[in-house]
Amino acid sequence: MEVTGRDVFVVMAIGELDWVNVLVDREVMGVSEVKHVVSLGAGVQSSVLCLLAKHNELDYPVSGAIFSDVGAEPKPVMDWLDWLEGELPFPVWRVKKGDGLTKDMERGVREGARIATLPVFTESADGKGGMLRRQCTNEYKIQPITAKLRELIGLKKGERGGSEVRIVQHIGISLDEIQRMRDSHLKWVEHKFPLIEKRMTRHDCLMWMERKGYPSPPRSACVYCPYHSDSEWRRMKDEDKESWEEAKRVDALLRHGVKGATDALYLHRSLSPLGEVDFSTDEDKGQGVWDFNAECSGYCGT
């Protein structure tokens, strides 16, 4: 008999799989508590992951979900998160680094201080351009989530988590994004990918939500993420004026404001101000379709 999470036994009840919490003597059973948590990005895949847990369609009990508020999400994503939180039987823990990425960038530009860089496009002397190193995901997504994981198992500052798995972190990567799977860099955290185990694509997730009568989630990504495809920029320009104006503002803010950057910076690979870019096709601009394949941590766009 396998014991996981808060020592939960799997039983059959009226022909349906049900979870029954049973408190046991850990010393007798010889096991330590393993917590199962969802990394929630408030997009399609991670939202479905949470709702699958609600409907007992996962093979484990979920203790809660962690949402890292970067401070740059569009309003529809935050509105969706508020709705989703009310639907779930387990807590959603919202974490945030400082005042968030946007405010920290504004402060950095104003004071000439360090900024956690975005993968923005840069001009160069040879005319080929390049990209800055991406630091935003690690500092505003991964680190706050890791801090919460440490808190959940009672680790103090500087205390090591050991080599035994104490947290199973479930990440909303679907079958069509299988190349984004990564093992945890922490020995005490194990990554699992339930949507891949269920062979569910993003489309399958949307169909599941439709069958259950749920509305469709918005796309989850920071307003001014340089990984946006032309089609996403175009959608934002046409359908989300608030986000579009914010993206243009940040694009201009970063142009010559990042400490240590000697070349002009742009959110779009055309090396043009965002408001002047022609988004008529994806292929002509080399942006491809909406795709976070370049985002290898698995924390963005889910």
For each of the domains in the chain, give its residue range(s) and CATH number, in order of start: 34-276 (3.40.50.620)
217 with 47: CB under 8 angstroms?
A: yes
**Strands 130-131 and 121-122: what pairing?**
antiparallel
Residue type, 76: P
Q: Tell me the C-alpha distance between 129 and 242, whole Å.
A: 29
pLDDT of residue 281: 63
pLDDT at 295 over 90: no
Please give the distance of CA 1 from its chain centroid, rounded to a whole number: 34
Q: Tell me the C-alpha distance between 92 and 90, whole Å.
A: 7
pLDDT of residue 127: 64
| Packing angle, helices 44-54 and 202-211, rounded to 10 | 50
Minimum mean pLDDT range among 34-43, 108-117, 125-134: 125-134
pLDDT at 75 over 50: yes
| Residue range 138-194, pLDDT digits in tens | 999 999 999 999 999 999 998 999 999 999 999 999 999 999 999 999 999 999 999
pLDDT of residue 258: 86
| Residue range 15-38, pLDDT digits in tens | 333 333 333 333 333 335 899 999
To the nearest whole number, what is the mean pLDDT of the chain?
Answer: 84
- Detail the DSSP E strand segments found in 4-73: 8-13, 16-21, 35-40, 64-68
Q: Tell me the C-alpha distance between 85 and 94, whole Å.
A: 10
SS3 100: coil
Residue type, 136: C
What residues contact residue 253 under an 8 Å CB cut-off, 6+ apart? 105, 106, 109
Residue type, 121: F
